[in-house]
Chains A and B, each alone.
Chain A
Amino acid sequence: MNNPNKSTRRDFLKATGMTTVALGFPTIIPASALGQGDKPAPSNRIVMGGIGLGNMGSGDLSNFLNNPLVQYVAVCDVRGGVRNERKNQVDGKNGNKDCKAYVDFRELLAREDIDAVHIATPDHWHAINVIEACRAGKDVFCQKPETRTLREGPLMVQAARRYGRVVSGGSQRVLEDYRGIVQKCWSGELGPIKAINVEMGTTSKPCNLPAEKCPDDMDWEMWLGPAPWAPYNHSRCDGNFSCEGGSWRSYSDYSGGNMTDWGAHHIGGATFAVDVRELQPTDVTLTVEGDKRWVAFKYPNGIELTLNKPGKSQHQVDGTPGEKREAKKVPEYAAKGGIGADFLECVKTRGKPFRDIEFAVNTVALCHLAIISYTLGRSLKWDAAKQLFVGDEEANRFIDRARRQPWQL
């Protein structure tokens, strides 16, 4: 629905002065200043907890747990086995039994002693987790893909800006894997950029798996959360990295499939390379030739980003060699140690993280736009300021989906 009372996304951020993050936070005093080595005193560390601690969450937990800036105090997962294992991991590192374990993320967020959280729940949970964390005054590191629907993105950015939170998306590959093509583009070597192509895989599918007995230690209602009710099936909720069945990444109630799961990386790298991270496209042009289909996004500045364009390879750039393009310095993480360290540094300094939530949202928006275009079988025009399709009421019905009670954004 198009709410006539709503101002545009751009008006909103501009008028409210929320385009940057700048808020007070207790200064982290290095304990070296107190003669205790490089590790800050416990009272000066960033107190963290983790929500959703399976595959990616487990890796994130280890990274944050082992960072000397962090005092890790709480874990949350709807699966008892995972929850207990991670608690034991944290307790082992801390040398005590103090790590609290939660089934419901809201209880973790209610703790006033926690400064920041990392989130690696299935994708259909991300927006609710992130927005609730911002409302609770926490800084957030959220795994990719950050959104499941188009409407979620601006609301996550709005929550981050409203409460002055540092909110980082989670694709480490954007900077670390695609540095070569990024450097070529930003150095001016390729001249003014006209287009870039991204090779992408499939989209997610409906899931209608049969009922199985739910493990006793799993809160199935919480796993489903805002998604339509469905019976437990181990393949429906498995966190493995397949997007072709046998995992939640394969099914459209929870994920956009390969399109969003790898799109957050590949498209994130492409938008970084051609420097359109702050933008969303105006045109989504679908071409179908036989059994092949591909999408072209046109940006307001004229740059084209294509998905699976025939004859093009991954991150193939059409530049204009010989024509001058001013070199720009490639942005880097705020600290050594990867994207997690970048986030922690920004928590300390109140700076904007490399994968600021707005950049992440703009990236995954392309994935959603492509999925909607594929689903409807037609080209679309997108008004990024209004976050609406132009002249296509039916397409606008795909901007979001009703959430199962009691969950809402």
Chain B
Amino acid sequence: MSGTATLVTGRPDRRQMLAGLGACTLLIAGALGLQAVRESQYRIQVDDAPMLYVTSVPSANRLALSFRALMADVYWIRAIQHYGDTRLSTSPAKRYSALYPLLNLATSLDPQFTIAYRFGAIFLAEPFPDGAGRVDQALELLNKGLAAEPAKWQYAQDAGFVYFWWVQDYKQAAMWFDKASRIAGAPWWLRSLAATILVEGGDRRSSRLLWMQLYETAEDSWVKNNARLKIAQLDAVDEIDNLARLVTRYRQVLGRFPADWDALRAAGLIGLIPSDPAGAPFVLDATQPGGVTIARSSPLYPLPPQFMRKAGPPS
């Protein structure tokens, strides 16, 4: 009877509507249930290899029409995700293969994308496995930024930083810091930093000066936190030197390597078990230069290699 009414009026009544909705809900629930069963029985292989849909920069520029900035944002987000995923990955085959192409596309679509150049250079320069370990690409990216915006002294400063910290080419580093200092608006300390580096090379004093200035002038919390971490690492290196001296004294007096920190404490050389600036206890290890090293579990691990190499073996 109600079916006839529907045919006549062409509109279902409230009860029929509810019945229809209920049927639709049941069908959807059934479909979802089947999907869950299928997924539990036949695992879907997810291809998580980084994929570049567009590899050509001119093509990306054309395809973006008037939405280049938004496309640049998308590539920037992809670059961050790729960097983060790869960094956190425990796979032995992990690679940052798409990092430079993604950053290159982002900065080509939006040549004024400051953060993409600056953070990108950090991601690229950081040694593997924490970064791509490609200082050449980091410098290429920064040079590209400087070509797009010659008034951005920050790019020249970052290039100097890459030479200083990762390449340890202090002459080039000083040249770039000097170049940055000559651009209008650059901070005063860049020129004195260039002079200091030229005279003293990459010692800890100039490194600390560089990181302190970066920390104080950073506008971005990520850059600020990174500078804070590097300062803490330098503090840890200083502390390791002090502890290595105590270990040497212990060996000179007792003729053996201390078994643990308690041994040094019993000898009256230290008060408490020494911890690095992040709070993780230092590790006594006779195989390490100086006999003292940082815990692998410490947020400060690994320490800057250029300073660690200078420490001698425990004597």
A binds B: no
Chain B residues in the interface with A (C-beta under 8 A): none
